[in-house]
Structure 1
Amino acid sequence: MSIWLSIFYPPPPSAFVAAMSAIICASLAYTGLSEVRGRHLQYSKFWNTGRPSDDARRARISSRAGMLLLYTPALASAAASLGVLAGERSLLLGLALLLHFFKRDFEVLFIHQYSGNMMLDSAIPISLSYFLNTVCMIYAQYLTQGVPEPAVDLKYAGVVLFLVGIVGNFYHHCLLSKLREKGDKRYKIPKGGLFGLVICPHYLFEIIGFIGVSLISQTVYAVSFTTGTVFYLMGRSYATRRWYLSKFQDFPKEVKALIPYIY
């Protein structure tokens, strides 16, 4: 316990934040397990593999509009936090979250290519989840104001990891976007970067980025969210590799899901 308190802030006095810390970790881990079991989030390219067609009565929006709906409320909350948070650590956290969601919106507008639509009733709860998690992380940091800093200061190491993660994630998203020419809806095996070692290097770098966010924050909530994210992306990368194996007979078996040579 003394080691924990030397690295992280003590648990917050807010019962809401404490409960959300447990809920978000458990729910993300469960979602990752669901991915492994074949129950995919409904904006995935393989969520409806082997399922009947969607009910035509369900409201749909373009994938680009849907992805903007996912990220923009969280982006707005991160931007608003800069007017609330005080202190170097808190401002670094707000800037990291702002940059994270700004990059996502930028990729939606200028990098990603789309081949379908998104169900509105699926996009709304996912958007609310991103928004709520961002607000909770900011609020948990706000509650540390006036609390003594952890004995071990990891915020600068966190900044380095966050930047490595966001640059690596962006680079591999760019590689994915170049797989298909405009109008081409066929999927291909990704190449370049770390794609020769793992099928989801963009998830690997996203994990690195969120570990960086946890070190910048050093709060229980940030650690819980990152832990849940790790479990979720492990499940999603496993499902992604399984999907490629089912679609491409020439998929290289030595390419792992997430961690080179290991997983």
Structure 2
Amino acid sequence: MSSMLGFLYPPSSAFITAMSVIHLISLAFIGISEVGGRHLQYSKFWNANKALGAAAKQIRISSRAGMLLLYTPALAAAAAAFCVPGAVTGERSLLVALALALHFFKRDFEVLFIHQFSGEIILDSAVLISFSYFISSVTIIYAQYLTQSMGEPAVDLKYAGVVIFLVGIFGNFYHHYLLSKLRKKGEKGYKIPEGGIFGLVICPHYLFEVIGWVGIALISQTVYAFSFVLGSTFYLMGRSYATRRWYLSKFENFPREVKAMIPFVF
């Protein structure tokens, strides 16, 4: 087949097929683990597993350093693609690499200039997430590279993907900005977020992150990119569910009509 379902490039190698399955299953499993109370230990959940006995013995680093560790290797991978001869050729592969670089550059920018931090991150969790982002970025770029000898999908979605990506990245940034303004200088406690669409969902930043990744997948139109988006959606749905449960446990006045990630639905 020259394309799958009219809008996807066919799987380009056994490696890409295997990575598609691995990332989908692993991210979905982590999402289910979040619902079950086993959290990747960063943000408000950094010490959520103390009852399991190991957290006190694990290495901790500052939240700012940990967040930079999360995103910088993936940013470096996306930027390096422009320096490798033949890695980025054609408009679609250029847009994919550019979107990835912009996504992780925004993340590092937020860490340095937007986010307010009040705790630490377990190093194991930071390394795991960092490795996942790095490998995913490399694989998205490599999967795109392997499509160079293929014909274009019957339906070209890359320009729609650019628009959706921009909606996602600006929506994510805006709600991260609102979160950063919740605390006054010197404050370290948590508050119920307000503004934007926080009145509908407690994790709009996760919703817009998914929208951004959907945009990248539409630009790419590879099986791996869509597999990664689907797995990431499962993970962030699990994470947002756990976040909403956390707010309900900490704030008696938390509005129960506010959903986890998808307005009016979930």
Given the two structures, how large is their TM-score scaled by the length of structure 2?
0.94
Is 2:159 the partner of 1:166?
Answer: no
Give yes or no for contact 2:2–2:150 (8 Å, CA) kept in 1.
no
Give yes or no for contact 1:39–1:47 (8 Å, CA) kept in 2.
no
Is 2:226 the partner of 1:223?
Answer: yes
Gap regions ≥5 residues in structure 1 = none
Residue in structure 1 matched with residue 72 of structure 2 by the alignment: 72
Q: What is the distance in 1 between the residues matched to 2:211 and 2:89?
A: 25
Residue in structure 2 matched with residue 136 of structure 1 by the alignment: 139
Q: What is the distance in 2 between the residues matched to 1:179 and 1:207?
A: 23
Find the residue that maps to 1:194 and give its secondary structure. coil
Find the residue that maps to 2:4 and give its secondary structure. helix
Q: What is the distance in 2 between the residues matched to 1:45 and 1:80?
A: 33
**Residues 57 and 41 of structure 1: CA distance in aligned 2, closer, same or farther (over 3 Å):** closer
Find the residue that maps to 1:103 and give its secondary structure. helix
Q: What is the distance in 1 between the residues matched to 2:55 and 2:214?
A: 39
Partner deviation per Cα, 1:19-74 (whole Å, 9 max, x = no partner): 01000001111111111111110113124336347655533221101110111010
Residue in structure 2 matched with residue 11 of structure 1 by the alignment: 11
Residue in structure 2 matched with residue 107 of structure 1 by the alignment: 110
Gap regions ≥5 residues in structure 2 = none
2:184 to 181, 184, 195: 181
**Residues 123 and 49 of structure 1: CA distance in aligned 2, closer, same or farther (over 3 Å):** closer
Give yes or no for contact 1:194–1:201 (8 Å, CA) kept in 2.
yes
Find the residue that maps to 1:29 and give its secondary structure. helix
**Residues 54 and 18 of structure 1: CA distance in aligned 2, closer, same or farther (over 3 Å):** same
Residue in structure 2 matched with residue 63 of structure 1 by the alignment: 63
Q: What is the distance in 2 between the residues matched to 1:190 and 1:176?
A: 6
Find the residue that maps to 1:161 and give its secondary structure. helix
One-letter code aligned to 1:150? P
Q: CA RMSD in A?
A: 1.6
Give yes or no for contact 2:31–2:236 (8 Å, CA) kept in 1.
yes
Find the residue that maps to 2:197 and give its secondary structure. helix
Give yes or no for contact 2:3–2:10 (8 Å, CA) kept in 1.
no
Residue in structure 2 matched with residue 30 of structure 1 by the alignment: 29
**Residues 10 and 183 of structure 1: CA distance in aligned 2, closer, same or farther (over 3 Å):** same
Give yes or no for contact 1:112–1:173 (8 Å, CA) kept in 2.
yes
Shift, 1:146, TM fit: 1.6
Matches within 5 A, 1:108-257: 108-257=111-260
Q: What is the distance in 2 between the residues matched to 1:46 and 1:69?
A: 18
Q: What is the distance in 1 between the residues matched to 2:131 and 2:200?
A: 34
Find the residue that maps to 1:118 and give its secondary structure. strand
One-letter code aligned to 1:136? T
**Residues 148 and 215 of structure 1: CA distance in aligned 2, closer, same or farther (over 3 Å):** same
Q: What is the distance in 2 between the residues matched to 1:234 and 1:69?
A: 23
One-letter code aligned to 1:23? I
Runs of 4+ in 1 over 3 A off after TM superposition: 1-5, 52-58
Give yes or no for contact 1:7–1:218 (8 Å, CA) kept in 2.
yes
Count, aligned residues: 262
Find the residue that maps to 2:6 and give its secondary structure. helix
Q: What is the distance in 2 between the residues matched to 1:55 and 1:39?
A: 12
